[in-house]
Amino acid sequence: MKRTALVTGGARGIGAVISRRLAEDGWDIRIHHNQSEQEAHALAEELNGIAIQADVRDFASVRAMFQAAGPIDLLVNNAGVAQYGLFTDIGPEAWRDLFAVNVDGVYHCTQCVLPHMLREKRGAIVNIASIWGITGASCEAAYAATKAAVIGLTKSLAKELGPSGIRVNCVAPGAIDTEMLQSLSAAELALLRDETPLGTIGTPDDVAHLVAFLASDKARFLTGQVISPNGGLVI
């Protein structure tokens, strides 16, 4: 029986690469998007999957998405937003919006996926966090705080859901070549490479391959883990 995966933020960037990688492994893909409708439907056609719109900040919207998606065996909580700036410049509205997407979104999706997984006594959840959720980051305090929350939730759910056969793991990428790095200058990128022991910046494939492994039966004895593909930047 073919298994079904839902990837939030699955239409672009790392999410799209994760969707493609899981499809290669035989997963039936549900591609969540909020505003990237054209990209989501094009990718769904490519992968013979289904594109579904939802605002992960809104529980009713997420619940409708899961009703449309059908039973989900793998949830990849990838949708997220970032903000760069001094902590003193982050207003209450921006702070709440970061948490609404990065933390509430994970809460909403996980709440909606669990009834099926608990009935089946199996399933896997992979949360995408960030290296900054492990170490903290100057000028990214709010973003780091949201990702630290995701890491804490991952570990707690792994303990709570393990007896039901549900595995929960976290991927916390370092510097990955995505739109989030486009604001950096060539000099800043060069410095980032120099500070990384492997001397390079990661690619979305580096994240997607790890997600696919954690979703597979090869990772049957892994839960509650935070794995950080970061080239040795943080060890």
Question: Tens of pLDDT along 69-116?
Answer: 999 999 999 999 999 899 999 999 999 999 999 999 999 999 999 999
Place of tokens 């969707």: 19
Q: Which among 79, 73, 74 has a CA at the least distance from the CA of 32?
A: 79
Q: How far apart are CA 83 and CA 136, in angstroms?
A: 14
Rounded to the nearest 10 degrees, what angle do helices 13-24 and 204-215 cross at? 50
Q: How far apart are CA 87 and CA 155, in angstroms?
A: 27
| Backbone torsion region of residue 174, taken as left when φ is above 0, otherwise alpha when ψ lies between -120 and 50, otherwise beta | beta
- The yes-or-no verdict on residue 183 having pLDDT over 80 is no
Residue 2 has a pLDDT of 83
Q: Is 84 a catalytic residue?
A: no
Question: Tens of pLDDT along 146-156?
Answer: 999 999 999 99
Q: Which among 144, 145, 170 has a CA at the least distance from the CA of 76?
A: 170
pTM: predicted TM-score of the whole model, two decimal places: 0.97
Among the listed ranges 135-149, 169-183, 194-208, 217-231, which one has the minimum average pLDDT value? 169-183
Of 23, 113, 143, 167, the active-site residue reads 143
